[in-house]
Amino acid sequence: MPNWTDNHIRITGKAEDVKRFLNDVVSYDSNPDDTPDEIIRLTDVNPVPDIYKNMYSGHRKIDDVSYTEWWEDEDGVRPVMDITRQELIDKYGSANSIDWEYANWGTKWGDCETEMTTPIYTDTVGTVDMTFSSAWGPPFMLLNDIAIKYNLEITNKWIVEFEDDEVVDKYPLTLHETDELYKRHRETLVGMKESLDNLISIDNDE
């Protein structure tokens, strides 16, 4: 289990931009017998590609061979072969959904258990507060991309469980800051993935 991060964000911008953003991330269940539940998913702004559906990642042996990705659905369990992995990396940048999430949201799973206050609008400005949990740290890339896409200002006050210090981040970053941060983050992920693949290779050789 990860160390969970508590995020408290305030989103401000032109009223029309705030409304456009909320229209993309807020939905309601369709149960006719109850008052519809509000469902908020910030990740709907940049969802995981459908190709990763029913794919799992980690470490699993299939026919005594270790794999880092595999399919598991009504057709059974089957490995993601090297040629398919490379095709996914070439097209989407990642071999599985978890790697894709880290590379595009900044952490896996994105926002969890997201709730919001009632938006406040003036004639020209909109403001809404949200709280959510995330794994290991804030989904900083997702929040920055939201700020850029919808022309919003986002302040995130976050703290990781078992730690004492709250951190405050503001978005959007400048284009230069965005490019540099995303580049460093993705390079780190590649290095970590290569180390894991080497361990799997050693296990198979043994």
Total count of residues recorded for the chain: 206
The lowest-confidence range among 8-12, 72-76, 152-156 is 72-76
The lowest-confidence range among 27-31, 70-74, 100-104 is 27-31
pTM of the model: 0.88
Angle at 185 between CA 91 and CA 180, to 5 degrees: 100
With H, G, I as helix, E, B as strand and everything else as coil, classify residue 22: helix
Exposure of 151 in the CB half-sphere (CA atoms within 13 A): 9
pLDDT in tens, 55-92: 998 889 998 888 889 989 888 999 988 888 899 999 99
Q: How many angstroms separate the CA atoms of 107 and 124, rounded?
A: 33
Q: How many angstroms separate the CA atoms of 110 and 140, rounded?
A: 9
With H, G, I as helix, E, B as strand and everything else as coil, classify residue 91: helix
Please give the domain boundaries of the chain with CATH numbers for all domains.
4-44+106-178 (3.30.70.1270)
